[in-house]
Chain A
């Protein structure tokens, strides 16, 4: 293997996996919470944390130059721009807010 590939380290992968499984259990437990809005916040918050753990530790993005992170953020930004741009056409805005 070429030496140039070796600049990133190897975090504890098994510990990362255990953390991901623990978060999966927490998110399943959160689904049964009485407050639906809070449950959704917890569920999707946990999904974001899990995604961050996979990207940082399994995909080693934490060791890459910031520009690499920028490439991924650009993709996310395009998705967000689509969401916000189309939102007023798809989701009816309450008359009170539209005035």
Chain B
């Protein structure tokens, strides 16, 4: 870390506020993941239930979110250079990534419900729908935030907000980095 070179009072208020939001979100998702882990340890038979989640679709969505995080950070870099065309392009790509994620997730939900795995099919499925549903809600909120930022940024307004919305988007990606192995890979 090179942090010792930057005094704390140089951190912009907006960025600090966003990190507070992220820290509180860490508590929300951390508590949920901790509760899932506790029950997963208690119920080894959940490994068989996890066989019904689609690893290829989960991996595809991981790729989509990682790529949208890349476009979000490239939008932030373009905003610092005041390159409005690139800011618009990268923010649009990020929103498109979020939409793609939701379409794939909807397809997954549809397939799982079609096979009889609903939120009331057992504790594993309750956790699955709660965790992925809460995450998907965050994706939607992130997309709305990015869209609002995009409307201003394409005219060169409030460019510092590109970074704030991006920070939130990276957090959404971060949560998925843990949900994917928990629900799709560890079987």
Contacts and interface: CB of A to CB of B under 8 A. Distances in A.
What range describes how many residues of A lie at the interface?
35 or more
Contact of B3 (A44, A57, A65, A86): A65
Interface string A1-41: 11011110010011011001100100110010000000010
A75 B15 CA distance: 17
A27 B3 contact: no
A71 B15 CA distance: 13
What range describes how many residues of B lie at the interface?
35 or more
Q: Secondary structure at chain A's binding surface: helix, strand, loop or mixed? A: helix
Contacts of A5: 12, 15, 80, 160, 163
A51 B59 contact: no
B30 A78 contact: yes
Contacts of A31: 55, 185-187
Contact of A17 (B23, B39, B66): B66
A38 to B, nearest CB: 13
Contacts of B80: 1, 5-6
Nearest to B41: A91
27 contacts: A1-B80, A1-B159, A1-B160, A6-B80, A7-B6, A10-B77, A13-B70, A16-B70, A17-B66, A43-B185, A44-B181, A54-B69, A57-B73, A62-B1, A63-B6, A65-B6, A68-B11, A71-B19, A71-B23, A75-B22, A75-B23, A75-B26, A79-B26, A80-B34, A82-B34, A87-B38, A92-B42
